Amino acid sequence: VVPPHRDGGQAQYVESSVPEPHERSRLGPLIDRMRADISADYPVATLADLAGMSERTFLRRFAAATGVTPASWLLSERLSRARTLLEDTSLPIDRVAETAGFGAAATLRHHFRRRFATTPAAYRARFGANANSG
């Protein structure tokens, strides 16, 4: 299946999820922190502590606010960051992987292929800044 091309630079894939407004005040600063340092490790115990909650309460509220676990949310955010870097920069794939929090290009390729059914290089060729020049 080939995704249709969208003219005008419109993103092909769905953007990242954000918490519901009622949880935003409690989880918002933590989510902002995670986005600001996307490549850091975030054990549940650390996240719960930063949110001022028990692990169980944190997991329950995070899932209620975002619809997914913290690990799934973080993976989606990292993939979103990688997509943006692939679209807007000419950074090498290994640098994109590092900047987006995957550490290694192989890890990025694995998760990217599972989520989007394409490789980072193929995605860049199709949707990158230089995709339509030529």
| Coil vs helix vs strand at 89 | coil
Q: How far apart are CA 55 and CA 116, in angstroms?
A: 31
Q: How far apart are CA 77 and CA 16, in angstroms?
A: 6
Query: Which tens digit of pLDDT belongs to each residue from 37-93?
Result: 999 999 999 999 999 999 999 999 999 999 999 999 999 999 999 999 999 999 999
Which CATH fold topology does 71-134 show? Answer: Arc Repressor Mutant, subunit A (1.10.10)
Asked whether 44 and 68 are in contact (CB, 8 A), the reply is: no
Asked whether 119 and 113 are in contact (CB, 8 A), the reply is: yes
**Can you give the residue ranges of every domain in the chain?**
21-67, 71-134
Q: What is the pLDDT of residue 62?
A: 96
Q: Helices 70-88 and 93-100 sit at what angle, rounded to 10 degrees?
A: 140
Asked whether 78 and 118 are in contact (CB, 8 A), the reply is: no
Q: Tell me the two tokens of residue 35.
A: 């986005």
Q: How far apart are CA 111 and CA 82, in angstroms?
A: 11
Quote the pTM value. 0.79
